Amino acid sequence: MVSNRPHHESGFTLIEVLIAILVLGIALAAMLSTMLSNTKLNNSLEQRSQAIRLTEGILEKYRQSANYGALAVLPAQTEEVTVNGQPLQITTTFCPSSKPQELVCSASAVYIRVEVKNASKVIHSAETYYTTFGRES
């Protein structure tokens, strides 16, 4: 005897599987893009952090020298360092012509600018003005 009841099939059709794979692929591509962007940002922040530490060390070295008159006449200093495999160029300029006019370089005061670059891109720049208290300029 043959039954006239409707026959229900179980499982997924090929179209349903392809749509599921497409949706999953789009979601994974978005996640991968976000992860790559985050990694790039983390690397950039780490490089900037290293540049800030280098700048702070250089400025502290000159602050401790306390012979600001001798520093004021020095030519620009450039040094190459490698941090985490990245070559960095550090340029220190004493009393540059572009400094604020009210900050005068003298025997007791010096204006210092430190710039850290990776290739031609400036990663960090810092400027400071050191003075010796209690002495005539």
- Three-class DSSP category at 8: coil
Return the pLDDT at 128: 94
Q: In what order do the strands lie in the sheet with 109-118?
A: 77-83, 86-94, 109-118, 121-131
Return the pLDDT at 137: 46
Please state the domain extents for the chain: 14-131
Return the pLDDT at 119: 87
Backbone angles phi, psi at 4, to 5 degrees: -95, 10
Return the pLDDT at 134: 58
Return the pLDDT at 10: 73
As to burial, measured by CB atoms within 10 angstroms (0-12 exposed, 13-18 middle, 19+ buried), residue 51 is: buried
In the chain, the amino acid numbered 26 is: I
pTM of the model: 0.72
Query: Can you read off the two tokens belonging to residue 123?
Result: 């990663």
Query: Can you read off the two tokens belonging to residue 31?
Result: 């996640």
Mean pLDDT of successive 10-residue stretches along the chain, which has 137 residues: 62 89 96 94 91 94 87 92 90 93 90 93 94 65
| Contact of 91 with 101, CB cutoff 8 Å | no
Class of the domain covering 14-131: alpha beta
| Contact of 94 with 71, CB cutoff 8 Å | yes
Q: Could you tell me which residues come within 8 angstroms of residue 84 by beta carbon, excluding any fewer than 6 positions away? A: 46, 47, 50
d(CA 88, CA 119) in angstroms, rounded, equals: 7
Beta-bridged to residue 116, according to DSSP, are 90, 124
